[in-house]
Amino acid sequence: MRIKPGQISPNFETFDIHGNCIDLHKLSHNKILLTFFRYAECALCNLRISEIRNESEKLRDLDIRLIAVFQSSSKSLIAAFNETSAFNITIISDPKLELYNLFGVRPSWIKLIKTTSYNGIKSMIKASKLGFKLGGKVEGKFHQIPADFLIGKTKKIEIAHYGNNLIDHIPIETIINTSGLN
């Protein structure tokens, strides 16, 4: 079942890749950008993380906490994202897809194929130029499609975005504009 704007976010309690307990509904005084990715070595996922990193000051000024969920193991994620603490992102390993299922995030071969569009190819070239390895180690479902949820301070879903391909995320500008910083 897909999550819709206006509804209260499903709650979860889990651990991040460093063993810190994360209880979604107990994260107070923050909006949350909850993003579901594929796996640690996904070049397009790393490109999106890079885009978030570039805007992290604006997101921090808006009091938005960043939580990223991957199919990869904690070990792989720690190796891949050893410098993310510099911009305060919480990373969760979910190889059993429990959180993906809770939020209705599904794989799709058709949506994966849609990534071969002009913009998809452009993004792959950009990711490669930034040093992200195309065709990295696949952990989980290769055809997992991303999703983003902007969750308000009262834990209501402000934006629910299910990707139509591997590069389809909520634009950072939309997150900033929705959250009040122009």
> What value, to the nearest 5°, has the Cα angle with vertex 165 and ends 153 and 59?
30
Task: State pTM to two decimals.
Answer: 0.92
Domain-wise residue ranges, the chain:
14-178
Q: What is the CATH number of domain 14-178?
A: 3.40.30.10
Cα gap 124→55, rounded to integer Å: 20
pLDDT tens per residue, the chain (182 residues)?
A: 899 999 999 999 999 999 999 999 888 778 999 999 999 999 999 999 999 988 888 888 888 999 999 999 999 999 888 765 556 789 999 999 999 999 999 999 999 999 999 899 999 999 999 888 888 889 999 999 999 999 999 999 999 999 999 999 999 999 988 876 43
